[in-house]
Amino acid sequence: MASSLSIPKSACHARSNSFPARSHPLTSSVEDHLFSLKASEATSSSPSSIFHQLNSLKDLHECVCDWIHLPSVQQTLSNEKHRADKFLDGSLRLLDICSGARDVLLQTNESIQEFESSLRRKRGEAGLPCEIGAYLTSRKKLNRIASKCIKNFKTYEKCPAVLLDNDRDLVAIVNVVREVETISFLVLKSVFSYVSGTKTISKQRGRSLVSKFMQPKREGIDSEAVQNLLKELQTFGYVIQKLENRLESTFRCLVKTRVSLLNALTN
């Protein structure tokens, strides 16, 4: 049975040397996906990088679902019904966090669309700064929510402890699952970080544009400044919409992984 399993090192380090060279192809595939995500996590935090990480995370969980269905993995997990809650706790937390990220993105997108509509509808009106203030208040509220979620990730950033058990195959399975959960938490954290503005200059540029409206040098509103702000919003809105779509696909894969684990533990 051990030939289809492996005992990876911590998700905080490089490619694991403990994956057997002749292990099951699915095991090697899981390792490759993990290694790719670990490498990308240390690179750029740009939107395109986050898109890539979410796509890779989706691919990883699809591969993990297939791996869980291996007879050797199924057999080992079927003997662990008494510890099912411990196996499923991580997947439940992932779903909760991913769901929270989806909510934040949805509210951010709605806020952007409402503000865009106000800009187009009230272009040239002196009361527009009030709309800008309302948008900034909404963004500040969402940023606080995202920042609070980021703080909660600190408990997941530490490398998970290795399971002490005499069953080598069980240890291998648990460590693979923990690696997958750890890298998943890190990818989801990058989504919250982007939305909160900690890894983007869009917020700073937006404030610069807004200042022109709050202290106008002449009567009326600068149409060029309005147009620039609209472009900024459209760009940010496009990124948020793409993140929403990618995160929705990721969420479905997280559900599949949890269901696969649940079935293996209860059948």
User: What is the mean pLDDT of the segment spanning 207-223?
Assistant: 55
Query: What confidence score (pLDDT) does residue 164 get?
Result: 54
What band does 202 get if pLDDT is binned at 50, 70 and 90?
Answer: very low
Whether the predicted pLDDT of 205 surpasses 60: no
User: What is the mean pLDDT of the segment spanning 218-242?
Assistant: 78
Q: Is 157 exposed, middle or buried (0-12, 13-18, 19+ CB in 10 A)?
A: exposed
Whether the predicted pLDDT of 198 surpasses 70: no
Cβ neighbour number for residue 190 with a 10 Å cutoff: 18
CA angle 34, 37, 39 (to 5 degrees): 110
Q: What is the DSSP string of 104-160?
A: HHHHHHHHHHHHHHHHHHSTT-TTHHHHHHHHHHHHHHHHHHHHHHHHHTHHHHSPP
Query: What confidence score (pLDDT) does residue 69 get?
Result: 92
Q: Of 38-47, 120-129, 168-177, 190-199, which gets the smallest average pLDDT?
A: 120-129
Residue with tokens 């980021």: 150
Kindly report the pTM of this predicted structure: 0.78
Distance CA 32, CA 128 (A): 52
Three-state SS at 98: helix
More confidently predicted of 123 and 66:
66
What band does 163 get if pLDDT is binned at 50, 70 and 90?
Answer: low
Query: What confidence score (pLDDT) does residue 211 get?
Result: 61
Whether the predicted pLDDT of 145 surpasses 70: yes
Distance CA 125, CA 170 (A): 67
User: What is the mean pLDDT of the segment spanning 92-121?
Assistant: 88
Specify the DSSP class assigned to residue 4: G
Distance CA 216, CA 221 (A): 7
Distance CA 145, CA 186 (A): 17
What band does 124 get if pLDDT is binned at 50, 70 and 90?
Answer: low
Query: What confidence score (pLDDT) does residue 201 get?
Result: 36
3-state helix, strand, coil in the chain (%, to 5): 75, 0, 25
Distance CA 229, CA 226 (A): 5
More confidently predicted of 100 and 11:
100
Whether the predicted pLDDT of 82 surpasses 70: yes
- Give the chain's end-to-end CA distance (angstroms, integer): 19
**Looking at 175-244, which runs of residues are DSSP E strands?**
none
Domain boundaries, the chain: 25-266
Q: Is 263 exposed, middle or buried (0-12, 13-18, 19+ CB in 10 A)?
A: middle
Query: What confidence score (pLDDT) does residue 196 get?
Result: 80
